[in-house]
Amino acid sequence: MPRKRDILAEITAKRARHKKRTPRFDQAMERLITVFRIGLQLRRPNAMPLDLRRETAKYIPIATVGCLEGYFRMAFRDLVDAGSPYRENAIRVSDLRISLEHVVAMQAGKFTLGEFVSHLLPTSSIDDISDAMSTLIGEPFLDRLKHVETDYFWPEPGVVSMESEGMMGPMMRDIRKLFEDRHIFAHELASSVKVNIRAIEERIGAASVLLTGTEALVSELIHAA
């Protein structure tokens, strides 16, 4: 018989792995910038032997997707915990089952509804993330995101929208490739695959754009709640 999941223990352990006083966006970008710096180092011929550079490059999509998944789970949490309408929208999340045990734990302050919902939402692909965000905010996430005006610092500073700069299509293409590569390198031997370091850097840039735009949107939505 499969062992019953201990949701409280899982949430508590995950919470302990986050910085307590650092905002969600800052935590994600701090790690993402470090991953980007690794990519820059890998382009240096004398950084390490070629075989080691190629193997290390395979870990970059894994780390980058980890930044995305971690950030979006915190965004899910904060939206639901901000209250109406996101708390009510969470009811529409499919396959979300809250037992009396979970209700008691929430009333005791052991975790919040936002933590519970965000812990169970799937984030294995950009489609999973988009569907979850769309459910919580009550409108198509990507359609709303492309019109968000903020300073993306990509390719240069300036307050723009993804739509006005034609960034949405290329960004989504790179994000999908990141998730694809993450799945391959985390679950397959992939011994014949060689990573293009320059392409990897561009995909990290796409992750930065996605996080930056989403943070501007989430901050706006929470402020209006």
Whole-number pLDDT of residue 93: 82
Whole-number pLDDT of residue 133: 98
Total number of domains in the chain: 1
The reply to whether 51 falls in a domain is yes
Whole-number pLDDT of residue 5: 82
SS3 167: coil
Whole-number pLDDT of residue 1: 55
> Structure tokens of 158?
């300036």
- State the Cα–Cα distance between residues 193 and 188, nearest whole angstrom: 11
Question: CA torsion, points 116, 120, 121, 125, in degrees to nearest 10?
Answer: 140
Whole-number pLDDT of residue 195: 87
pLDDT tens-digit series, residues 163-206: 999 999 999 999 999 999 999 999 999 999 988 888 998 999 99
DSSP 91: G
The reply to whether 2 falls in a domain is no
CA angle 122, 31, 42 (to 5 degrees): 110
Q: Which residues of the chain have pLDDT under 70?
A: 1-2, 94-95, 155
SS3 151: strand
The reply to whether 1 falls in a domain is no
Helix axes of 59-81 and 113-120: crossing angle, nearest 10 degrees = 140
Domain span including residue 192: 7-224
CB within 8 Å of 80: residues ≥ 6 apart: 86, 87, 90, 112, 113, 114, 117, 118, 136
